[in-house]
Amino acid sequence: MAIEEGVRPVGRAAVRPVREPARWAVWTARAAALTVVPSGVWRVVLGLGVPVGFSGSLERMFGRSMPGWGTVYVFCLSGLAELLGFLSLGLVRPWGQVLVRWLPWLGGRRVPPWVAVTVAGLGATAVTVVVWWASLGPWARNMSDPESPHGLAGFVMTACYAPLLGWGPLLAVVTVDYYRRSRR
- pLDDT mean for each 10 residues of the chain (184 residues): 46 61 95 96 87 77 68 91 94 86 81 92 95 80 76 90 95 96 80
How far apart CA 1 and CA 180 sit, in angstroms, is 30
- For residues 163, 99, 15, 182, the Cα torsion angle rounded to the nearest 10 degrees is -20
- What is the reported pTM? 0.81
Crossing angle (nearest 10°) for helices 113-136 and 164-182: 160
Crossing angle (nearest 10°) for helices 164-182 and 23-34: 150
pLDDT at 31: 97
Check: CB of residue 85 under 8 Å from CB of residue 32.
yes
pLDDT at 7: 47
* 14 beta partners: 9
Domain locations in the chain as residue ranges:
21-89+103-182
